[in-house]
Amino acid sequence: MNTYTQILYQIIFSPKNHERTLASDHREEIYKYIWGILKNKKCHLYRIGGTSDHIHIVTHIHPTVSLASIVKDIKVASTEYIKSNHLFPLFSGWQDGYGGFTYSFKERDRLIEYVKNQEKHHKTKSFREEFIELLTEHGIEYDERYLQ
């Protein structure tokens, strides 16, 4: 028997203190770098996007890779890449936590569009408001102290 999975993840994380350090002129470069990390771990990237203060990743994670390990790998490697290539001068690293949400594969297209339109979406809603909505939608209890 082989292993077959189809778990669609939306992963969200932001720079330390939700600082707006991810300038638009270099975001595509860091997105491509993160795509390479996922590809090397045999994960399938459907979409990556975000704004100056956070990133969304829509991906299928290979069954041999845990969510926590892929997020750690992305954060560690991308921090080094950002700093060594001077992509975002005010970037001091990623926040400690992250959001990881699962979706039915039937929701893939809707989720991809949602991530694709982050700039437009955040003209009317803050990252904090968006994140609280996702936590609530997925039935996740949270501590307000960590959402500042």
Q: What is the mean pLDDT of residues 57-66?
A: 96
**Residue 26: per-residue pLDDT:** 95
**Residue 148: per-residue pLDDT:** 65
* pLDDT bracket for residue 120 (50, 70, 90): confident
The C-alpha atoms of residue 50 and residue 114 are separated, in whole angstroms, by 10
Question: CA-CA distances (angstroms) from residue 108 to 6, 10, 72, 103, 113?
Answer: 11, 10, 24, 8, 9
Domain that holds residue 16: 8-147
Residue 94 per-residue DSSP state:
B
- Share in percent of the chain as helix, strand, coil (round to 5): 45, 20, 35
Out of 45-49, 86-90, 100-104, 116-120, which region has the weakest mean confidence (pLDDT)?
116-120
Q: Is residue 1 part of a domain?
A: no
Is 54 exposed, middle or buried (CB count within 10 Å of its CB: 0-12, 13-18, 19+)?
buried
Percent of the chain with pLDDT over 90: 82
The C-alpha atoms of residue 90 and residue 72 are separated, in whole angstroms, by 21
Q: Is residue 3 part of a domain?
A: no
Q: Is residue 23 part of a domain?
A: yes
16 touches 92 (CB < 8 A):
yes
Segment 66-103, tens digit of pLDDT:
999 999 999 999 999 999 999 999 999 999 999 999 99
Q: Is residue 25 part of a domain?
A: yes
How many structural domains are present in the chain?
1
Segment 15-30, tens digit of pLDDT:
998 899 999 999 999 9
Residue 147 pLDDT exceeds 70:
yes
Q: Is residue 125 part of a domain?
A: yes
Q: What CATH number does the domain containing 122 carry?
A: 3.30.70.1290
